[in-house]
Chain A
Amino acid sequence: MKRLFLCVFLLFLMSGCVEKKIIDDISIILAVGFDQSDDKQMIGTFLTDNFMADKSITNQVFTSKASLRRDLVIKANRQVSQPLVTGGLGVTVIGEELGKRGIEDILDVYQRDVSIGARNFFVVSEGSAQKTLQGQYGTEGSGTYLYNLLNNHIKMKDLPETNLHLLLHDYYQKGKDIYLPRLKQISNNQVEISGVSLFKKDKVVDVIPSEKMFFFRLLVDKHGKGNFSVPKKRNERASIRGFHSKHEFKISKKNPSEVTVQINIKGAIQEYTSKKLGQKVVKEIQKDLEKKVESECLKLVKNFQKKDIDPMGLGAFYKSRNRGFDFKKWEGDYKNLNVKIVCHVLIEETGISR
């Protein structure tokens, strides 16, 4: 019995050994933004939610300046009554200027910091990240709004899949370059996804506008889903819904420097602006779409080769097909690679109307 009491006593002594993080006594950072300051310092912007008694949510933004990433949080902590914690981080916004200078340091911090989830979204903002985060979006709080915006676009629309894990995966992968969605603040309470930033190593070198994002996604995502409208002659347009796309790389056996990107699209016509949708018209739409995809994708790939970036991961693909692959030699080979795009479209149904 004495021993038992001793045990209980010891356990009580142990209590208070660990630091508590009671949820209403901390400020959970939902989104963070990094900007390059003029001098060699960085500006960090931290967005937290304030939960009001009437269940409404207001945003609170803290900014700080420091040369080290870790110091940003420590400095920002001086402004808040409750300590800032990073475990709930959902969105990271990179300022345009910083993106051009390189984000290697930030990626390194994210790789080390275990408290940040792998589903955290990285975006590049048009203009400064600070300004983007200072806006008031939606009623559920800006942080949640931005997170849901990106999440839904990846799920349903034509944004290529991205999150912290995929970003780090590609970043540390030899023979693949990273890309991030772009965010554009339209007004103080409006924001939109305006395209994709393409990186070489850790620097932004090119931008794909939102109109081309569809084709970009076909190239980089193994599987895709979404909607797309095909312009036809004159005013006619056909909207294709719920399509599934699949792509595959094939190296030509005869000529190793020739690679074929096979894109398969399955879908259904949802909306058609002309009067009648017969078998013939459907065939035509298929053909049009195939042609369009092939030409647009080829344009993109040619652009990649010109800029010497490889967001499709062709290098990694070649590596997995060749034993003893030499990346040094590949750098020269990539520019001269003969890429072919072959697209197959299958329209399965045309809706329930005839």
Chain B
Amino acid sequence: MHEQTIPDRLKISPYLIFYAIMSMQIGLGAMDFQRLIAKYAGYDAWISILFVGACLHIILWMMYKIVETVNGDIVTAHMYVAGNYLGKVLSFPFILYFLVHSLATLRTFIEIIQVWIFPDLSIFWFTLGFMLLCMYIVFGGLRTVVGISFFGLVLPAYLLLTFGFNLPYSNFGSILPILDHSVKDLLKSSFHMSLSFIGIEIVLFLYPFIKEPQKSKKWAHLAILTTTLLYAVFAIMTFAYFSEGQLQKAIWPTLMMWKILKLSFVERFEFIGIANWNLIILPNVCFSIWIGSRLVKKIFNIKQKKGVYLFIITHMAIITFIHTRKEISLLNSMMAKIGFAFIMLYIPLLFIAVQIAKKVKRK
């Protein structure tokens, strides 16, 4: 098992893992998670957000344990557990996982633009433009990808303030009474929350690139904490703004909330918000392509650049065939299920496997 070492100048500072995780988490689900979770747990759903957030801290701890034990990424962990050949076979599905992830993200964003701004936006050309941009970013290496995730989080941060305009129309009494739903409902909505929390798994892939990995732990936990609180507060704000029936009618509640915002120089804010969303989903897609192409490199021993080309061509080929809203939501719910299985089920399994392998090897 030869592990190629990564030179120091290509590594990223530990604090940047905060931006990487957060920007990866916020994106795909942030537009409509409120509706999905309220469907099952009503306006108690914010409790399930906190619950999922707490679970993720444990998962993150497991992930760090895995990569620390094997001192590498998930491919190394697989090889550690199952040997060289089988380890690579086990890692292969993750290429598809990230392919689906970036596809779902990009297609959902295009759908939003099509519904809201340009009904006749050509999917093919927009994807091509977007992919060329991603190629430019990914070719700059991880440093550039993380840089984009940093700006993708910091620059649109002002959007949070815009939701302050919803407060005069909000009635926080509507989330009362607390705990009006059964535990089963809450767990159901927790499951549906998972799409919005997908993204912490990148620790498994970025670990070898972190300068002082020990120091990055606290940043990673902080990232999850921030996202959880952000989602919870945001969910409560949404619940206060919409009535339950109305929320179920809204496809993208986050966007609908911008509709009330009116400034002296901007009559309708959602167009600016959607345009800014470009910056938020860009790191999602870039990370997926970067990780996917890196996996291609590690598994098939070809150049990462070729992996990127492969990814882009696959995107271009598939995305034009996803037309209807139904297909998109199918893609999203599929992504949510796979993500849930990966994060909540597979990682604990891998954790146990690695611990066992460690004990066996020690003997």
User: Do chains A and B make direct contact within the complex (CB under 8 angstroms)?
Assistant: yes
Using a CB–CB cutoff of 8 Å, the interface residues on chain A facing chain B are 7, 10-11, 13-14, 17-19, 87-88, 111, 114, 117-119, 163, 165-166, 168-174, 176, 222, 316-317, 320-324
Q: Residue B121 at the A interface, CB < 8 A? A: yes
Asked, given contacts A17-B125, A117-B268, A324-B180, whether A173 binds B246 with beta carbons under 8 Å apart, the answer is yes
Asked, given contacts A18-B120, A19-B120, whether A323 binds B179 with beta carbons under 8 Å apart, the answer is yes
Q: Which of A165, A172, A222, A324 meets B260, CB within 8 Å?
A: A165
What are 22 pairs between A and B in contact, CB < 8 Å?
A10-B128, A14-B129, A17-B122, A18-B118, A111-B250, A114-B116, A117-B267, A119-B262, A166-B169, A169-B169, A169-B241, A169-B242, A170-B243, A171-B246, A172-B243, A172-B244, A173-B243, A316-B174, A316-B243, A320-B177, A321-B176, A323-B177
Task: Report the minimum CB–CB distance from A261 to chain B (whole Å).
Answer: 15
CA distance in complex: A320, B42 (Å): 12
Which residues of chain A are near B244, meaning CB under 8 Å? 172-174
Residues 171-203 of B at the A interface (beta carbon under 8 Å):
171, 173-174, 176-177, 179-180
Q: Residue B140 at the A interface, CB < 8 A? A: no
Which residues of chain A are near B242, meaning CB under 8 Å? 169
Q: Residue B229 at the A interface, CB < 8 A? A: no
CA distance in complex: A88, B268 (Å): 9
Asked, given contacts A87-B268, A320-B177, whether A174 binds B245 with beta carbons under 8 Å apart, the answer is yes
Asked, given contacts A19-B119, A316-B174, A322-B177, whether A7 binds B132 with beta carbons under 8 Å apart, the answer is yes
Which residues of chain A are near B306, meaning CB under 8 Å? none
Most-contacted residue by chain A among B120, B177, B262 (CB, 10 A): B177
Instruction: Determine the residue in chain A with the shortest Cβ distance to B116.
Output: A114
Cross-chain contact A168 with B180 (CB below 8 angstroms): no
Which residues of chain A are near B122, meaning CB under 8 Å? 14, 17-18
Q: How many residues of B contact A (CB 8 A)?
A: 36
Which residues of chain A are near B262, meaning CB under 8 Å? 117, 119
Which residues of chain A are near B243, meaning CB under 8 Å? 169-170, 172-173, 176, 316
Cross-chain contact B119 with A323 (CB below 8 angstroms): no
Cross-chain contact A119 with B249 (CB below 8 angstroms): no
Number of A-B contacts (CB under 8 A): 82
Task: Report the minimum CB–CB distance from B337 to chain A (whole Å).
Answer: 28
Instruction: Determine the residue in chain B with the shortest Cβ distance to A17.
Output: B122
Task: Report the minimum CB–CB distance from B277 to chain A (whole Å).
Answer: 15
Q: Residue B259 at the A interface, CB < 8 A? A: yes
Which residues of chain B are near A114, meaning CB under 8 Å? 115-116, 255
Task: Report the minimum CB–CB distance from A74 to chain B (whole Å).
Answer: 15
Q: Residue B225 at the A interface, CB < 8 A? A: no
Q: Residue B256 at the A interface, CB < 8 A? A: yes
Residues 96-135 of B at the A interface (beta carbon under 8 Å):
115-116, 118-122, 125-126, 128-129, 132
Q: Other than the known A14-B128, A169-B241, what 20 A-B pairs have Cβ atoms closer than 8 Å?
A: A11-B129, A13-B125, A14-B129, A17-B122, A19-B120, A111-B249, A117-B259, A118-B260, A119-B262, A165-B169, A166-B169, A169-B169, A170-B243, A172-B246, A173-B244, A316-B243, A320-B173, A322-B177, A323-B177, A323-B180
CA distance in complex: A160, B262 (Å): 20
Task: Report the minimum CB–CB distance from B335 to chain A (whole Å).
Answer: 24
Cross-chain contact A118 with B125 (CB below 8 angstroms): no
Task: Report the minimum CB–CB distance from A117 to chain B (whole Å).
Answer: 5
Residues 130-176 of B at the A interface (beta carbon under 8 Å):
132, 169, 171, 173-174, 176
Which residues of chain A are near B120, meaning CB under 8 Å? 17-19
